Structure 1
């Protein structure tokens, strides 16, 4: 780029940045989590009708086949995490397009399915596409938000020798740091792009939260539509959203960070200019992004084998993976993906579809409200309370089923207030604590240099545990009855509360350095 052109840009773009295009891009990208949420919610109303209907070739979907349809999507999600991580260097925009179009085609395969094998294939591929879309959309939004705050500027002593010289206007004096900021050590300061907890401006948190909100909204939408539609019509409607995502993403720019990493500075500047507004001055931020990319090239993450040799890393891995285990074995995923069938065995006066809609609505509301309490109450008290409340709700629900449904008591049709209250309490407690806090603690407890691999490991274990929970639910029901299954989940949740009390450190209001120092002091 010529000096004249650069000067012209500097003179023209002298206004304040706007958030309009950032919000617009985030809303477009949020169609991805919404489509993934539709996929998660589809199985609940669809399987309820598939088990009672006959497909065109005369084959009926049995309960075991239905459990495989649910479980195989989680195996697909496990594969999707690996595929998404490997293919991320092809570009965020391209990866979104390459996963959204097959996702739409998979729904069409479901629409025209005339054999269980076709549904199994579509469920597996849908799980792959859904995982890739969720991963890529989160990264796209986080990279499109401003990368630095004053307190996150890297001291020059940490920068590699080949970094471009910093302009005086981009250096933030120590007086801008908060009073409670710990002393900065060059050896411990990570690159800005690895600092979502410290370097994120206020808009990033709100935009990144769209992913979880729209995912829950997608699931609720599928529950509502499933009340009025058959499984084929519902699949056809679900195909529209990844197709719309594919078309709209074509008009979005690639993220500036990826373009700089690829060495395309001119396109990176144009992308950043579009995101900040045509009147915004972006040269300073562009230089900061260049520094970030340069440092990231030198940043060497740790390997999985370090878990066996590093005590701190081993403890972080054990805590986070245990939290994921307890999260999945509350049975929440079974209620989300198979709500109608489960509730039809519990409620006889109330419509199971309507109870499922109430469940999804409360889940969405609780996920919205969770952010109001996390930083007030702390992670450990909120997580422990959530585990205890979930355990109590599951125990009472199992007891109600034992004394009414399992014993075929005439009282099972007399009152359904208790099971409805149990479902409501379970949903609020899980969605307001266990669900979001587990993901948050994964990002806080892993050391920076292992956070990417650690998060992938915990996610993979989560999908594996989810597969086991879904696939064994029917077996547990046949062996222990539905009441015994819920009692088992209640006991595991109680064990989770004890584990949180004993092993999980409090991270509220603490820097990552403080958290890691405490992890290093542990004797196990």
Structure 2
């Protein structure tokens, strides 16, 4: 045997595989573009959520053009969540009636109106109204965007595309942190209002979800949309994927969506418990309290020669880079390892942060030599949060539910997110003022500690699995994987009794 020829052949095959991978990635360009565009709704939510961090300190100054009290400021922060409580339920109903794409387009209108209200605001009440209006757009986006991303994505890249939502939210926060301290109130509002306009233009060219089109018996349109998303001209391949989707939908859409269907099967009950648990761990882990009050957090966090606004910029940048890392790791390592690492890192960093604050505020011990520790803890917290418990709960919400209850389930999830946001952001300052920053950080750490055990015992791995297979596994199915001629994984299931 000529072993030199074997080596040449292997190298040729490897080169051919790399070229084929590049071609496949290029063909997926519209799939990535559609996911990126839809995730801009989270960027818009991120700009609004973090707008208060650089802006409220200016408005609370003596000569502010819109004078506000500290209590009014806390309401301005938390009222974003009120709109988010009101919007998701109707959105969850309409998403199966009018489609994912139209609702995402509609969600940009409250964002745009809210920025106009902020630009022309003359009182604290105007700001409160604007935040509530923005919450309507955020509530729709949080309920619909995970569904859209989950349904347009191939199994092999669904995790990556799902993490775009948190990445975009971090970019929105970074935008506000970076510009807010250095431009005027009006300029920041005008610049921030550009994002809804850009989104409206781009989303007009994006396809509808093939799942929704098949649900409406619009098979020809579903085929065209899928061909565009997959970059495929081979109709046989597209027809095979459409047939798999239609089989899944036929099983899942036997009955119309009703709220009681969320607890009708073992799979939906498990999915509901997992969704609620991950949301509570995410929100009561303290992230929105810290992001919405970032500059105030740094005011009570010594240890840097930078100003509080500069520290917020640095941490926002680090959080964005961590989100990019998550996008590259989620479909390699899986959801569970990242969630476990994330909750452990959040818990550990906040325990240390609370201990430092307690020693610094309640004892006579000189902590000057350790003033670098709080900033390090906040960086570790935000990095580990962005690795798992930040992006993955929202991404997994779009994976776990069957199509007939997905809209209702995600609307409940979005409402719970908004309710927790209101509760945490409103009570954060009360807790810091009344109980001390150390107690608040320890509470957040306790929630993350509970999260470690919750993920370990209850959260399944969804990496590389189709949406239909995930639903079946939650119902107790046992997969037998086979590799087809195209290299795609297909599964045959037997339901365990």
Say whether residues 1:47 and 2:1 are aligned partners.
no
In structure 1, the gaps of 5 or more residues are 1-15, 146-199
Say whether residues 1:212 and 2:151 are aligned partners.
no
| Aligned counterpart for 2:452 among listed residues 488, 497, 502 | 497
Q: CA deviation at 1:480?
A: 0.3
3-state SS of the aligned residue for 1:228? coil
Say if 1:257 and 1:445 are closer, same or farther in 2 by CA, change over 3 A. Answer: closer
Distance 1:272 1:306 in 2: 29
- The residue aligned with 1:65 is 72
Check the 8 A contact 2:91/2:143 in 1, yes or no. Answer: yes
- The residue aligned with 1:365 is 321
Q: CA deviation at 1:240?
A: 0.6
Say whether residues 1:124 and 2:78 are aligned partners.
no
Check the 8 A contact 1:29/1:249 in 2, yes or no. Answer: yes
| 1:16-35 matches, cutoff 5 A | 18-35=27-44
Alpha-carbon RMSD: 3.8
**1:471-490 CA distances to partner (integer Å, 9 max, x unpaired)?**
11111112201222112222
3-state SS of the aligned residue for 1:202? coil
Distance 1:373 1:442 in 2: 19
Say whether residues 1:417 and 2:424 are aligned partners.
no
Check the 8 A contact 2:210/2:222 in 1, yes or no. Answer: yes
Say if 1:204 and 1:295 are closer, same or farther in 2 by CA, change over 3 A. Answer: closer
| 1:284-363 matches, cutoff 5 A | 285=238, 289=242, 292=245, 296=249, 298-300=253-255, 303-305=258-260, 313-314=268-269, 316-347=271-302, 349-363=305-319
Distance 2:473 2:203 in 1: 40
Say whether residues 1:83 and 2:36 are aligned partners.
no
Q: CA deviation at 1:443?
A: 5.5
Q: CA deviation at 1:239?
A: 0.3
Check the 8 A contact 2:159/2:330 in 1, yes or no. Answer: no
Say if 1:493 and 1:406 are closer, same or farther in 2 by CA, change over 3 A. Answer: same
Q: CA deviation at 1:235?
A: 1.4
Say if 1:108 and 1:406 are closer, same or farther in 2 by CA, change over 3 A. Answer: farther
Q: CA deviation at 1:244?
A: 1.8
Say if 1:215 and 1:309 are closer, same or farther in 2 by CA, change over 3 A. Answer: closer
Distance 2:235 2:226 in 1: 7
Distance 1:253 1:505 in 2: 32
TM-score by length of 2: 0.76
Say whether residues 1:229 and 2:188 are aligned partners.
no
| 1:457-472 matches, cutoff 5 A | 457-472=412-427
Say if 1:205 and 1:414 are closer, same or farther in 2 by CA, change over 3 A. Answer: closer
Say whether residues 1:94 and 2:102 are aligned partners.
yes
476-485 vs 98-107, greater mean Cα deviation: 98-107
Q: CA deviation at 1:30?
A: 3.9
Number of corresponding residues: 448
| 1:440-459 matches, cutoff 5 A | 442=397, 451-459=406-414
- The residue aligned with 2:492 is none
Distance 2:228 2:273 in 1: 43
Distance 2:53 2:174 in 1: 11
